């Protein structure tokens, strides 16, 4: 009979612990990512109105999210699955999220608000 070599018990527990830490880290990163995307939503309309005084701009900024989801994110997800290459799409997504954060710094202009929402999705 061909027996596979036994793995020492201390090595198994180390591997299990490192796997548990990776799972905890992944959950924490996902929580922080989604918190950064949606934590500002309740205060965004009031903030945009205070900066511009124009309720139409508030609607444009809030509508960017749904527009981005329908026109870009869903088809890109389908294409990424079809190609089987998700990593380039993830890297570009991180780049756009960073660009959106930089555009948020200059939120006082009329173009920066919608541009930020378009980049962040």
- Per-residue pLDDT tens over the stretch 53-93: 777 877 887 787 778 778 887 888 888 888 888 888 888 87
Q: Rounded CA gap, 80 and 100, in Å?
A: 22
Same domain, 32 and 48: no
Same domain, 20 and 60: no
Cβ-Cβ contacts under 8 Å for 61 (sequence gap 6 or more)? 44, 48, 113, 114, 117
Residue 42 has pLDDT above 60, yes or no: yes
Domain of residue 75: give its range. 41-120
Asked if residue 90 belongs to a domain, the reply is: yes
Q: By the 8 A CB rule, do 51 and 104 touch? A: no
Same domain, 51 and 61: yes
Q: Rounded CA gap, 2 and 36, in Å?
A: 53
């Amino acid at each position: 009979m061909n027996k596979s070599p036994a793995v020492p018990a201390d090595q198994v527990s180390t591997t299990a612990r490192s796997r548990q830490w990776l799972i905890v880290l992944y959950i924490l990163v996902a929580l922080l990512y989604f918190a950064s995307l949606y934590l500002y939503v309740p205060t965004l309309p009031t903030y945009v109105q205070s900066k511009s005084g124009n309720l139409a701009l508030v609607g444009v900024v809030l509508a960017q999210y749904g527009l981005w989801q329908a026109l870009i994110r869903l088809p890109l997800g389908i294409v990424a699955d079809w190609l089987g290459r998700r990593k380039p799409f993830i890297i570009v997504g991180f780049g756009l999220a960073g660009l959106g954060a930089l555009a948020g710094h200059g939120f006082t202009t009329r173009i920066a608000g919608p541009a930020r929402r378009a980049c962040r999705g």
